[in-house]
């Protein structure tokens, strides 16, 4: 069975500082990995995905994520956080031959001015 762990319920950073949101996964075979962001009273918005190729994936709003197969991780990063990045972030995984997307429990990011 596939699963995702987001070990931190909350991440707090100051505006302008680097932001990292951690994600580890478990899946049979090659993974497809996704990051979504959810603002209050909104649906999930797609940020980026890893399918194959370069381990560093760049996405929307200046976010990027690094796929590390040996550590089964897909951490989300942003070099300089903005107050507007404050939201709930979800990591999700699918197996190569699977169709079901499994989500982590989410990490609440708060960026203080």
Partner 1 sequence: EAGVAQSPRYKIIEKRQSVAFWCNPISGHATLYWYQQILGQGPKLLIQFQNNGVVDDSQLPKDRFSAERLKGVDSTLKIQPAKLEDSAVYLCATRREGAVSTDTQYFGPGTRLTVL
Binding flags for partner 1, 60-99, as an x/- string (CB under 8 A) = ------------------------------x-x---xxxx
Work out the burial of residue 49: count CB atoms within 10 Å of its CB; fewer than 13 is exposed, 13-18 middle, 19 or more buried. middle
Asked if 99 and 7 touch (Cβ cutoff 8 Å), the reply is no
* 49 counts as binding partner 1 under rule CB under 8 A: yes
Which window, 20-28, 32-40, 60-68, 73-81, contacts partner 1 (CB under 8 A)?
A: 32-40
* 55 counts as binding partner 1 under rule CB under 8 A: no
């Amino acid at each position: 069975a596939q699963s995702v762990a987001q070990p931190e319920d909350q991440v707090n950073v100051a505006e302008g500082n680097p932001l990292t949101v951690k994600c580890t996964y478990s899946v049979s075979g090659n993974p497809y990995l996704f990051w979504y962001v959810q603002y209050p009273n909104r649906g999930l918005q797609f940020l980026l995905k890893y399918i194959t190729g370069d381990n560093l994936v760049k996405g929307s709003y200046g976010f990027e994520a690094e796929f590390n197969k040996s550590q089964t991780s897909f951490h989300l990063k942003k070099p300089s956080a903005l107050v507007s990045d404050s939201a709930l972030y979800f990591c999700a995984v699918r197996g190569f031959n699977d169709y079901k997307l499994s989500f982590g429990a989410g990490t609440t990011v708060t960026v203080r001015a």
